[in-house]
Amino acid sequence: MSSPEFLVTLNVAPDLEEAVVDCLLTLESEHGFSSLPVYSHDHRNVGLSLAEQVTGRQRKIRFQMYLPEQGLAELLDKLRGEFSGSGISYRVSPVLDSGVI
């Protein structure tokens, strides 16, 4: 039986995109990772420009990657070490099923 797999999602400020890409590329992952532009919506206006406050959204870059359980600690430790205080939010979700159709 293989070890459990997890989906890690990061929401990153656009000015950190290249640094996060470089960081993630240094970690070995069988599946690589994906990135896409997204908008974050939050009732708190902390750190938002006036335009973002008016529109109610803030541009972010979302990274997603699949990792085995043993790779989670290494990833999170590396991110905490390199990006402490940067406001990167993350979520870790168990993968119930995956494959190629």
Query: Where do the domains of the chain lie?
Result: 13-94
Average pLDDT value for residue range 38-52: 72
Nearest residue to 85 via CA among 24, 3, 25, 16: 16
**Banded pLDDT at 44 (limits 50, 70, 90):** low
High-pLDDT (> 90) share of the chain, %: 60
CATH number for region 13-94: 3.30.70
Residue 22 DSSP SS3: helix
- pLDDT exceeds 90 at position 30: no
**Banded pLDDT at 72 (limits 50, 70, 90):** very high
Whole-prediction pTM: 0.85
Residue with tokens 């896409």, as numbered in its chain: 36
Give the pLDDT of residue 12.
Answer: 96
Beta bridge partners of 6: 67, 94
